[in-house]
Amino acid sequence: MKGFNKLHKISGVILFFLIFLFSFKLTAQSSRVDLNLSENAILFKVSEPLNLWLDFLKSENAKQASKYWNKIEVAQFSDSTYFQLMDSYYFEEGNLIKTLNRGTTVLSITQIDTLYKITSMYRVEIDDSLSATPFIFSIYAGIERESGKLKLYNPFPINQKLLMQEKVYNNVKYIFPKNHQFNRKLARKQMKIITLVEKEFHVKLKKPTFIFTNNRSEIYRLLGYEFHFQEIGADIPFGKAFVSDNYVYTSGTGEFCPHELIHLLINPKWTTAHLWFIEGFATYFGGSRGKTLDWHLNNLKKYYKSHLREDYTNLLDKKNVDEMTDYRYVVGGLFVKMAYEKGGAELVKKLMSYEDTDTGFYKAIEIELGIKKENLNQFFLEYFN
């Protein structure tokens, strides 16, 4: 993209007041866009990116809208999933375009070198008098080198170049905030764990990308969200692995989040393993939310002691102990720990070989660990006492 290598030089005018000058909303009953556009849009030379974005949103579906998107990302992700907005569960029947064009208001357009940052608000109508805004998001418009035309671009890769720096260490590409001093000690500590897993389970990490930020808000900024409803509450560490693309992103743990890198190692090897064993494996060896498995087991023990009448027979129905500890991670981790201590890597591999069904899970813990489903209450009583 033309001028892309100069993204760090931010110039132009930020038009935050454009929300008062133009907005649009496409109702479910009509294909008409109500637009009130002041001469200021022409004055500040944002008419072209504005109209490009509006034309995109007025499209019938993602495939039709793909002509407004850059060809590289369309080819990379397909002609229906090229727009990498992460909140797909908001969008009925997976139709992101159809849903966006019924609830989007353009807020601002910012010129950054040869790029335009277009910020919009997504609004959900609750009833005739009440609406909610789950997120405010941005995308970019820039000149496509191949066609010479203005096209739309995902914000994630562009924001990485604008806001982040990178360093390759032990075959891992780390991408992190520009004001952060790289911590080799943490990176080395992480790689010791990865090396252990590689050796024990005959897997190999293939030059992944490890993106981390100081906090949750910074991750959402990278993804293109100016505001996201999940920013509410305590800012606890988290991460996500994108196995097919060989990268992870994390926040709150710096260079050390082996849990997500372990997913890059084990998910492709055990594609049919039960989720509790997959997450348990990653938690046993790599922790979760910046805490070790032992920390989470102690947290579960405290919860268990204050809820002695709780029934664990239908264990797989349980979700979270609290905002830090998830049953899938802590109990899955406990079963992987028991298998590893009893029979080493080979017994853990057996756990991972059972099918990803409730029946497969309960069969695995009964055959490999001697824990029957009907005896789970007695198991936890004995374990925590």
pLDDT in tens, 159-170: 999 999 999 999
Averaged pLDDT for residues 22-29: 40
Q: Tell me what the pLDDT averaged over the chain comes to.
A: 87
Least Cα distance to 81 among 61, 99, 101, 53 occurs for 61
Q: Give the confidence band of 4 by pLDDT, cuts at 50, 70, 90.
A: very low
Q: What is the pLDDT of residues 143-185, one digit of tens each?
A: 999 999 999 999 999 999 999 999 999 999 999 999 999 999 9
Could you tell me what percentage of the chain is helix, strand and coil, using 3-state DSSP and rounding each to the nearest 5? 45, 20, 35
Q: Which residue has the higher pLDDT, 126 or 74?
A: 74
Q: Give the confidence band of 40 by pLDDT, cuts at 50, 70, 90.
A: low
pLDDT at 124: 82
Q: What is the pLDDT of residues 65-83, one digit of tens each?
A: 999 999 999 999 999 889 9
CATH class of 154-269: alpha beta
End-to-end CA gap in the chain: 62
Tell me the percentage of the chain whose pLDDT exceeds 70.
Answer: 86
Torsions phi, psi for 299 (to 5 deg): -65, -40
Residue 39 pLDDT > 60, yes or no? Answer: no
pLDDT at 96: 84
Cα 206 off chain centre by: 20
Residues 7, 161 contacting (CB under 8 angstroms):
yes
pLDDT at 89: 57
Q: What is the pLDDT of residues 304-348, one digit of tens each?
A: 999 988 999 999 999 999 999 999 999 999 999 999 999 999 999
- The two three-digit tokens of residue 378, written as one number: 């007695």
Domain ranges of the chain: 4-153, 154-269, 270-385
pLDDT at 180: 96
Complete DSSP assignment for 194-253: HHHHHHHHT----S-EEEEESSHHHHHHHHTEEEEGGG-S----EEEEEGGGTEEEEESS
pLDDT at 218: 93
pLDDT at 7: 37
Averaged pLDDT for residues 267-291: 97
Residue 237 pLDDT > 60, yes or no? Answer: yes
Task: Report the interhelical angle of 216-223 vs 155-163 (nearest 10°).
Answer: 120
Residue 186 pLDDT > 50, yes or no? Answer: yes
pLDDT at 334: 98
- Angle in degrees, CA 35, 36, 37, rounded to 5: 105
Tell me the percentage of the chain whose pLDDT exceeds 90.
Answer: 72
Neighbours of 109 (CB within 10 A): 27
Residues 167, 174 contacting (CB under 8 angstroms):
yes
Cα separation of 213 and 251, whole Å? 5
Cα separation of 385 and 309, whole Å? 15
